[in-house]
């Protein structure tokens, strides 16, 4: 048997068939189901559960005590804060089987979900968006939007580096950290430089 190209702590359970990318690290008391796919250079903190058919891109960081259930897809470079919550059924009942009613949840490239936030199933969190700690997402979060509260509401626009964007009269803003320029048109933010 060849040596694994990723790290798994001795207390973690990786079901046979799970796909795990090179240089990923899976820490204490994690459980990865057999149909899950985890990309390269990911980190799963302590006590993380990855359910059936969950897809995780490259360089995703999942902090302690997060459960990703069937229907959740995380694209590359996503950050999931400690104890954030995902659901996959809108109207769960212990006595009714609703596996055919799972609703997908998509967390797009570069997005961050804060600690203890809840993402209600069937929603998309946009590219480089940020969900504040403790917030409850009940509808789509736009690209580059910072949302907070319960229910989560748009507070302001942020750059890919997580800095607040201040748009001028022409709808242009520059990230103070990267120097990249962004444009706001009709309630949508686009970056004018390409992101590698």
Q: Check whether 196 has a pLDDT greater than 60.
A: no
CATH code (residue 76): 2.160.10.10
Mean pLDDT of the region 23-43? 98
The residue count for the chain: 196
Cα angle 10, 11, 13; round to 5? 95
Rounded Cα distance between 186 and 145, Å, is: 14
Q: Find the domain containing 155 and state its range.
A: 7-161
* Domain membership flag for residue 72: yes
Compute the distance between CA of residue 190 and CA of residue 177 in angstroms, rounded to an integer: 17
- pTM for this predicted structure: 0.95
73-111 tens-digit pLDDT: 999 999 999 999 999 999 999 999 998 899 999 999 999
194: pLDDT strictly greater than 90? no
Residue 1 has pLDDT above 50, yes or no: no
Q: List, for residues 110-122, the tens digit of each pLDDT value.
A: 999 999 999 999 9
How many domains does one find in the chain?
A: 1
Q: Strand 181-185 and strand 188-191: pairing?
A: antiparallel
* Residue 42 located in a structural domain: yes
pLDDT band at 154 (very low <50, low <70, confident <90, very high): very high
Decide if 114 contacts 136 (C-beta within 8 A): no
């Amino acid at each position: 048997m060849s040596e694994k190209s990723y790290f798994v702590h001795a207390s973690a359970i990786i079901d046979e068939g799970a796909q795990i990318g090179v240089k990923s690290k899976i820490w204490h008391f994690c459980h990865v189901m057999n149909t899950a796919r985890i990309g390269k250079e990911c980190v799963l903190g302590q006590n993380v559960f990855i359910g059936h058919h969950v897809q995780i891109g490259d360089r995703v960081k999942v902090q302690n005590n997060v459960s990703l259930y069937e229907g959740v897809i995380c694209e590359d470079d996503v950050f999931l804060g400690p104890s954030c919550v995902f659901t996959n059924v809108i109207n769960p009942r212990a006595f009714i089987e609703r596996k055919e009613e799972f609703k997908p949840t998509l967390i797009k490239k570069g997005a961050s979900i804060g600690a203890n936030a809840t993402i209600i199933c069937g929603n998309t969190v946009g590219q480089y968006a940020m969900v504040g700690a403790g917030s409850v997402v009940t509808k789509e979060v736009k690209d580059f939007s910072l949302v907070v509260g319960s229910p989560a509401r748009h507070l302001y626009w942020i750059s890919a580096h997580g800095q607040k964007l201040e748009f001028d009269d022409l709808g242009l803003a520059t990230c103070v950290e990267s120097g990249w320029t962004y444009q706001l048109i009709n309630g949508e933010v686009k970056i004018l430089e390409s992101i590698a």
